[in-house]
Every structure is written in C-alpha cells, then in structure tokens.
Amino acid sequence: MTKHLRIHTGEKPYLCSICGKGFHLNGNLNKHMRVHTGEKPFLCTFCGRGFRQNVGLKYHLATHTGDKPHRCHICGKEFPMKYGLKHHMKIHSDERPYKCAVCGKGCYQSSHLKKHMLSHLRK
C-alpha cells in the first residue's frame, strides 16, 4: 500500500545517479537506467532487434505479424497496442491537451507540439 500511495503524494525516493530523475518504484529506476547503459534485453525473435522495455518489443512484433487487435469504432483504423487506439481517439474527440505557450495552438501529441514550437524559433 505504501508504494501505491507514492503516486498520490508525489514522493519519488528512487533517484537516478546519472541524471537525477526520480521514481516512485525501484523497478522503474532499474528500467530507466537502460537509457544510460544502452542495455536492450528484450529481443525480437524474428529479426533480433533489441528493446529497453517489453512494451517496445510487443509493439515492434506487430510489424512482423501484422496483428492489430485494437480497432477504432468510429473510423475502423486498427492498432497493435491499446495505447495507440487510446491516443488515436483524441483525434475524434478533438482533444488537444498540449498547448503552445506562445500562441495557444493545441496539439494532439506532445511530439506535434515540439515540432510546432520550432516554427516560433524560425521567425
């Protein structure tokens, strides 16, 4: 129970010794350390490509199998991972949670906002 409470209190007692990022759980710190070490223990059985986390491997496997079990009930687009469908649904709801601090433009994804921010730097 104490571990779960950290999510609500914001307590992050496990700190990365390299970049200082904090984590609620020690296991999450261990996963994070792969960013610094370059370790990719999850290997694709089709092509041998390595991944830092199992979720990355699962997503990648769909490129070999074509398996896309998560389907949008509005437009029919299919996704290999549930997260992809959840993210896609923002398009249909017109939810744009990432707002530009300069002009107020809203974006569906944080990566789209980052690209948009570059347009302000070019001016």
Which pTM does this prediction carry?
0.59
Q: Are 81 and 97 in contact (CB under 8 A)?
A: no
**How long a stretch of residues is the chain?**
123
Q: What band does 80 get if pLDDT is binned at 50, 70 and 90? A: confident
DSSP E strand stretches across the chain:
14-15, 22-23, 42-43, 50-51, 70-71, 78-79, 98-99, 106-107
* DSSP character at residue 78: E
Predicted confidence (pLDDT) at residue 123 exceeds the cutoff of 70 = no
